[in-house]
Structure 1
């Protein structure tokens, strides 16, 4: 399936795509009209539809074989971009969360410069990759954070269901977004929990870039969340038996 054909399968009405839909639909239309993904993303910035992310998007051919991907982005301020869903969503995340993406890229490049690419990424680079590919950010009242950390699924999504009106789950991982084009119950995000009320975070990107630290990330401060369990994200979860599937909604491991 070509990039343009794949983009045509996206349902922008899905709740996880709502924050990205305005720019995403515009870029998708350009690709479907014949533009490359890189050109479509650059056009959003050039026309003032999106703020300047501090990088440009380029063809994958711009990446030299002897240079690591993250090092190349840091040195050249260019993001190699293929014409597929994976890189399309990566570009959209760059446009919506540029400060966070730049911070993650900086740490990746510094780690590669210090230790080389290697067969094993190391704890920091591994955690950055998890967040970048499969992460989500939860801004919510403390009770929801506590239930998620304890993997108390019934409490999180049934007993405390009204509290989700005061919460936001923002998908950051571009591989996660790609998987959610064809949603299934088992798709699980690695959630970074923001101990802040929604109303105190005026700019999520700036807040997250400031809140993240290399030390905190290296400890992998993530909790798993099957995203279709989020209230309002899937009609089937209105039936509370949805959360009885222990193959998806797993209990916390016993130490």
Structure 2
């Protein structure tokens, strides 16, 4: 795996953890726990002894222990997201635990599904003006990314946070064309947008149904892929048309 991938904009907010991501050797779970020093949480190795407690993964987190597999990118990125966006992680965990009426139940309800989708592939996008979403609403990707390129460069529309640790894992393969599942906030400040999302999740104002999330082909964002020519944006299997009748929620304010 080429560690040059960590220079991609998707990892920009995790620059403080370059020493962890680009290290020649994997850190032990104890070393990673000490490096991140998560308030109120401890990274613990997921082994048979840990799993013998019979607790659901989310309930164990609520008790302060995050089960983490050694030498595993997915779990490493999960730990980094806990370090970078703890308020959202705490909010998601509290909501998931509230949904666990019966830990033995098979399958997820729609709220559990959207909470998991956002945890795995979530992205927070901020817009200054809600009218910027019109092209996105109709999946007019050329208007959003090509004609609208200057809006991305100026910050009129921006990725405030890449939250999904599965997205980060997929980004280890430079050829992957990633799709984020997005919550949109209207405002001027990225940090404030992230805080608003954390509060809204805690209040259950957000993430009650998967249809709340907007799909965004992330490699279409100007500067996020090296080959953004006309043919690139014509890849219908990636830049998919909108489904008939599909409507997206207005941005949070």
Measured after TM superposition, the shift of residue 243 of structure 1 is 1.1
1:240 aligns with one of 230, 246, 253: 230
2:165 aligned with 1:174: yes
Alignment of 1:82 onto 2:72: no
1:55 is the counterpart of 2:41: yes
RCO higher in structure (CA 8 A, sep ≥6)? 2
- 1:92-171 equivalence runs, <5 A: 92-112=80-100, 114-141=101-128, 142-165=130-153, 166=155, 167-169=157-159, 170-171=161-162
CA distance 1:108–1:203, change in 2 (3 Å): same
Query: Which residue does 1:206 correspond to in 2?
Result: 195
The alpha-carbon deviation at position 10 of structure 1 amounts to 5.7
Q: Any idea what the Cα deviations from partners look like across 1:125-151, whole Å, max 9, x if unmatched?
A: 110000001111111232433322321
Residue 218 of structure 1 aligns to a residue whose secondary structure is: coil
- Decide which structure has greater helix share: 1
Structure 1 stretch displaced more, 64-73 or 225-234: 64-73
Return the offset for 1:244. Answer: 1.1
| Counterparts of 2:21 and 2:242, CA distance in 1 | 40
> What TM-score does the superposition give when structure 1 sets the normalisation length?
0.84
Deviation (angstroms), 1:203: 4.4
Q: Hey, what does 2:221 align to over in structure 1?
A: 230
Q: How far apart are residue 223 of structure 1 and its match?
A: 1.0
Contact 1:99/1:209 (8 A) holds in 2? yes
TM-score, L = length of structure 2? 0.85
- Quote the offset at 1:183 in angstroms: 3.0
Q: In structure 2, what is the equivalent of residue 3 of structure 1?
A: none
Question: C-alpha displacement at 1:65, in angstroms?
Answer: 5.3
Cα pair 2:124 2:184 within 8 Å, conserved = yes
Q: How many residues align?
A: 236
* Long gaps (5+) in structure 2: 246-253
Q: Relative to 1, partners in 2 of residues 1:163 and 1:214: Cα closer, same or farther, differing over 3 Å?
A: same
Q: Which runs of 5+ in 1 are unaligned?
A: 1-5, 47-51
- CA shift in 2, pair 1:10/1:88, >3 Å: farther
Q: Superposition RMSD on alpha carbons, in Å?
A: 2.1
- The DSSP-based 3-state class of the residue aligned with 1:132 is helix
| Aligned match of 1:254 | 244
The answer to whether the Cα contact below 8 Å between 1:89 and 1:177 also exists between their aligned partners in 2 is yes
The worse-fitting range, judged by mean Cα deviation, of 163-172 and 206-215 is 206-215
